[in-house]
């Protein structure tokens, strides 16, 4: 069965602190995709990154970085030097299969990040 677990419900940090959001997934497929989305108070889910199961290279984009480890089924997200604008709910999601159909995203419950000044 497929599942995404975000064990951290809420995290509070002070500006400029680094913060890591954890994501653990379960799947029986060998081909799958992992995603992170940000949901600010406005409600719209904003795509951050997609990673396929064959690409374990870590990625850095500005203050954001992602650590994908198949051995531990984890896809963690780190924000370096956090800012108040980073305050949002962050979702990790899984999409299974390598087929043609646009299969659904399976989301975790999200981690609420609060960054104070």
Binding stretches for other proteins (CB under 8 A) = 4, 33, 35, 37, 42-47, 50, 52, 91, 93, 95, 98, 100-110
CA distance 11 to 116: 11
| 5 touches 108 (CB < 8 A) | yes
> Smallest distance from the beta carbon of 77 to other proteins, in angstroms?
15
**Strands 111-116, 88-96: parallel, antiparallel or unpaired by DSSP?**
antiparallel
CB of 76 or CB of 108, closer to other proteins:
108
List Cβ<8 Å contacts ≥24 apart for 45-48: 45/91, 48/77
CB of 14 or CB of 104, closer to other proteins:
104
> Smallest distance from the beta carbon of 104 to other proteins, in angstroms?
4
> Smallest distance from the beta carbon of 21 to other proteins, in angstroms?
13
CB of 71 or CB of 100, closer to other proteins:
100
């Amino acid at each position: 069965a497929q599942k995404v677990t975000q064990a951290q419900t809420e995290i509070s940090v002070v500006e400029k602190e680094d913060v890591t959001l954890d994501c653990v997934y379960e799947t029986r497929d060998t081909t799958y995709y992992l995603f992170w989305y940000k949901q600010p108070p406005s409600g719209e889910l904003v795509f951050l990154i997609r990673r396929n199961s064959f690409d374990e290279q870590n990625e850095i984009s500005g203050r954001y970085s992602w650590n994908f480890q198949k051995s531990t089924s984890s896809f963690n997200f780190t924000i370096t030097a956090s800012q108040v604008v980073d305050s949002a709910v962050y979702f990790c999601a899984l999409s299974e299969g390598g087929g043609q159909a646009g299969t659904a995203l399976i989301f975790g419950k999200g981690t609420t990040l609060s960054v104070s000044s």
